[in-house]
Amino acid sequence: MPNSQPSSNEEQKVLQHEVFGKSAVYFRTFVGVIACLTVCFNSSIYAWTIHESVGTGGEWPGFWELAVMAIGPVAVALNFTNADKTIALLMKVQPISDMLRNKAADIIRKDPV
């Protein structure tokens, strides 16, 4: 028998859409995907230049240069995916969500100088 309760992932999506607006959530997702693809593309280009350099008699880069190339795309992707979970978790805590909503409302209410 299917469970009538929504999953936590569905609750997070609904909560984010209510708080931030649908277009803001989609824009943030789009920007996150572009960031991940950009870092992966740059790492691939860097790997190609290393290949070309070593192929023509150059030296291998140091450990840290290779570590940044290998870990960078993973770090960006993990950071992006955890950001949504962190925001959703914060918004589930009633005192924090009330404080954030009130501060956002205060910013919106202020007249431009």
Structure confidence by residue, pLDDT tens digits, 51-96: 999 999 998 888 888 887 778 777 777 777 666 676 777 777 788 7
pLDDT at 81 (0 to 100): 67
- Asked if residue 97 is part of any domain, the answer here is yes
pLDDT-based confidence at residue 2 (cuts at 50, 70, 90): very low
pTM of the predicted model as reported, rounded to 2 decimal places: 0.49
- How many angstroms from the chain centroid is the CA of residue 66? 23
How would DSSP label each residue in 62-104?
-HHHHHHHHHHHHHHHHHHHHHHHHHHHHHHSHHHHHHHHHHH
**What is the band of 1 on the pLDDT scale with cuts at 50, 70, 90?**
very low
Residue 11 lies in a domain: no
For residues 35 and 80, the answer to whether their CB atoms sit within 8 Å is yes
Query: Does the residue 15 lie in any domain?
Result: no
Number of domains the chain is built from: 1
User: Is 6 within a domain?
Assistant: no
Query: Is residue 100 included in any domain, yes or no?
Result: yes
Answer for the pair 72, 47: CB distance below 8 angstroms, yes or no: no
**In terms of residue numbers, what domain contains 69?**
20-108
Of how many residues is the chain composed? 113
4 found inside a domain: no
